[in-house]
């Protein structure tokens, strides 16, 4: 075994789309995350420390020899993890279209709620979508704090006609008003995310506008890359990459992984069946 083969190695992100490379590489990232979480919850988790020793150093007993095995292994894992997700993110960027080809309507819907979205210069429709999504996300956070809920409601009341302001101020139902104002914002966002289509039976129904959301995500990423490329300070570029770009690509990779794994497993099963058929043709029993 070569020396470098003993140690944890991030995937080759220059690789073109290849499930046989991506699926095992992302599985390593998930295993790394799960073992770190276990040790953070229980520093005496011998099994998790052994697993990370094998993954990081090629030796399950490596970190057990340290004075503080849990501390030592977490240092190693925290050093390896950024390189691992950097590689996943860069691979995802290179092969984004292949991942998006696997996404259905609900995947794009979930993605829009899960990643940061950025405005574009001179694109009113794009920016309207981003503003509404930002407000929906803000409402989720505000809902956790009664004082912020009240402040939000008071500000929204000021936007209403004077007669309605008087009525709303008299009722004082902060939670009910917060839900009512929130429903209005959510309805506006839904209108941006869905298309009305006519079904085979002639009935009308709403369908996720997959292509619209895909373009919003792509344009948002393009704009973030423009800002990244415009920046001259390397420290700021690093911050943009980690907070605005890498996080998005890793989220996409997390969503793509179970789909990629399923296709890969089906392909392997298909190959196994074909080999079995070939054996039967020549008279083999197994």
Q: Kindly tell me if the per-residue pLDDT of 20 is higher than 90.
A: yes
Q: What is the pLDDT of residue 3?
A: 45
Per-residue model confidence as pLDDT tens digits over 197-231: 888 887 888 899 999 999 999 999 999 999 999 99
Q: How many Cα atoms sit within 13 Å of 200 on the Cβ side?
A: 0
Q: Kindly tell me if the per-residue pLDDT of 4 is higher than 70.
A: no
b/e burial code for range 200-219 (CB count within 10 A of at least 16 → b): eeeeeeeebbbebbeebbeb
Q: What is the pLDDT of residue 285?
A: 62
Per-residue model confidence as pLDDT tens digits over 116-143: 999 998 899 999 999 999 999 999 999 9
Q: Kindly tell me if the per-residue pLDDT of 6 is higher than 50.
A: yes
pLDDT band at 154 (very low <50, low <70, confident <90, very high): confident
Q: Which structure tokens are listed for 139?
A: 């409402």
Q: Strands, E, within the chain: which ranges?
A: 194-198, 204-208
* Closest of 252, 183, 254 to residue 220, by C-alpha: 252
Per-residue model confidence as pLDDT tens digits over 165-188: 888 776 678 888 899 999 999 999
Q: What is the pLDDT of residue 273?
A: 57
Q: Kindly tell me if the per-residue pLDDT of 1 is higher than 60.
A: no
Q: Kindly tell me if the per-residue pLDDT of 282 is higher than 80.
A: no
If you average pLDDT over every residue of the chain, what do you get? Answer: 91
Q: What is the pLDDT of residue 87?
A: 96
Q: What is the mean pLDDT of residues 265-271?
A: 80
Per-residue model confidence as pLDDT tens digits over 25-63: 999 999 999 999 999 999 999 999 999 999 999 999 999
More confident residue, 78 or 199: 78
Q: What is the pLDDT of residue 277?
A: 60
Q: How far apart are CA 212 and CA 106, in angstroms?
A: 13
Q: What is the pLDDT of residue 123?
A: 94
């Amino acid at each position: 075994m070569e020396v470098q083969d003993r140690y944890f190695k991030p995937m080759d992100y220059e690789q073109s789309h290849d499930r046989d490379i991506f699926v095992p590489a992302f599985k390593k990232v998930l295993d790394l995350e799960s073992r770190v979480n276990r040790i953070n919850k229980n520093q005496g988790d011998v099994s998790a420390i052994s697993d990370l020793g094998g993954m990081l150093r090629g030796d399950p007993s490596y970190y057990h020899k340290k004075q503080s095995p849990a501390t030592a292994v977490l240092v190693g894992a925290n050093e390896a993890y950024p390189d691992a997700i950097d590689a996943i993110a860069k691979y995802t960027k290179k092969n984004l279209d292949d991942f998006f080809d696997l996404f259905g309507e609900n995947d794009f819907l979930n993605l829009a709620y899960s990643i940061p979205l950025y405005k574009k210069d001179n694109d009113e429709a794009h920016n309207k979508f981003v503003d509404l999504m930002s407000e929906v996300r803000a409402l989720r956070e505000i809902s956790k704090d009664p004082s912020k809920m009240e402040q939000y409601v008071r500000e929204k009341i000021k936007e209403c006609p004077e007669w309605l302001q008087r009525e709303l101020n008299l009722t004082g139902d902060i939670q009910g008003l917060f839900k009512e104002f929130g429903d209005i914002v959510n309805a506006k966002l839904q209108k941006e995310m869905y298309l009305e289509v006519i079904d085979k039976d002639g009935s009308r129904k709403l369908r996720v506008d997959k292509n619209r959301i895909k373009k919003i995500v792509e344009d948002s990423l393009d704009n973030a890359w423009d800002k990244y490329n415009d920046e001259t300070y390397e420290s700021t570029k690093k911050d943009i990459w980690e907070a605005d770009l890498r996080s998005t690509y890793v989220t996409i990779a997390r969503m793509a992984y179970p789909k990629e794994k399923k296709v890969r497993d089906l392909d392997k099963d298909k190959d196994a069946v074909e080999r079995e058929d070939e054996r039967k043709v020549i008279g083999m029993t197994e």
